[in-house]
Every structure is written in structure tokens, then in C-alpha cells.
Amino acid sequence: MRILNTPLITDKIVRLNAGEIVLLNGTIYTARDAAHKKIVGAIKNGRPLAFGLKEQIIYYAGPAPAKKGEPIGSCGPTTSSRMDSYTVPLLKKGLKGMLGKGKRSDEVIGAIKKYKAVYFIAVGGAAALLATKIKKAKIIAYPELGTEAVYKFEVEDFPVIVAIDSKGKSILK
């Protein structure tokens, strides 16, 4: 098991291997379909983004509302392939990590190799457990999207598996 602190610099990423278990520490951002559409639209139109993509991780999740005294409610991964059509422009802008569940397209796998990025998966169905690893949560963009708003999380020992490494090797068949 490897401990990995954000931001994700290339030197850290190229050492990761498909199938490896990793505990993430630091900042990660959430974005689902609607937020991805807005982010890519901003990139295409030359508008500034609400957060920098360089060396960051986007978690494909829409958290449940926080219970009293907690930073966030249950927060499990959503199906990553729904973001495939938006992924390449984000990788071009410096995104280095994606976190979700399920397979990725050949185009995305090729872009992961080209831009030396990594795709992590988290265990689906473990949303309540994953939420305990989120220590701070704040909406930073698109609050009108409700649970699909972009959140900034501070995580500690957030458990993930390297599904596709920077060499394009995948544990997903």
C-alpha cells in the first residue's frame, strides 16, 4: 500500500502501477456530468475556471448533504464513463488524476498515457465509509447544480486502487 499526497506531480504518477492500493491525502475536487459540461464549456470559450486543474484529482461523485457535525454526507463514486467525452480537454489543461468507478474508453486510456495521468477507482457501495475520510468539504463552483456542484475536499487516507496507470495498463477488462 502506498500513501500519496496531492498535488499529483508526474514523478509520483509514473511510479504507480495498475492494481496498487493507494491512500490519498490532501485536496481533491468533485465533478459529475453537469459540472464537467460547464468546465469544458469554460475551457472552450476561454473563460477562467473556478479552480486550477494542474496536478489535481477530480472525484466523480455527488455527495449527500452533511449530517449535523459532519463535513459531508455519504460520498461514493459514480460511473466514470459518463465523463469520457469531457476528459481529454481536462487532461490537456493539466488534470493528473481521476477517481470513480468502472471502465474508461480507449480514447481516455490513450490520453492517460499521453498526459501521464492516472485513473483511480473507489469501491462502489462504500459511500458512508468513504465519507469518513473527507475531513473538510466546501462548494467552490456551480452551487446551482446542487449535489453536482464542484466541491473541494480535504481527505485523509482516502482508499483507492490504481485502475489505469500512466503506462495505460488497466485492471479493468
Q: Is residue 173 part of a domain?
A: no
Residue 125 has pLDDT above 90, yes or no: no
15 occurs within a structural domain? yes
What's the domain range around 128?
A: 2-164
The pLDDT, as a whole number, for residue 101 is: 96
The whole-number average pLDDT for the span 126-143 is 95
* 159 confidence band (pLDDT: 50, 70, 90): very high
pLDDT classification of 67: cutoffs 50, 70, 90: confident
Residue 29 in this model has a pLDDT that exceeds 90: yes
| Residue 170: inside a domain | no
pLDDT digit string (tens) for 137-149?
999 999 999 989 9
Mean per-residue pLDDT, 118-144: 94
The enclosing domain of 124 has a CATH number of 3.20.130.10
Catalytic residue IDs: 36
**pTM, entire model:** 0.96
Sign of the four-CA dihedral 93, 98, 100, 105: positive
Distant-in-sequence, close-in-space partners of 90: CB < 8 Å, separation ≥ 6:
36, 39, 40, 43, 53, 58
What is the count of structural domains for the chain? 1
pLDDT at position 141 is 96
Q: 3 is written with which cell numbers?
A: 500513501
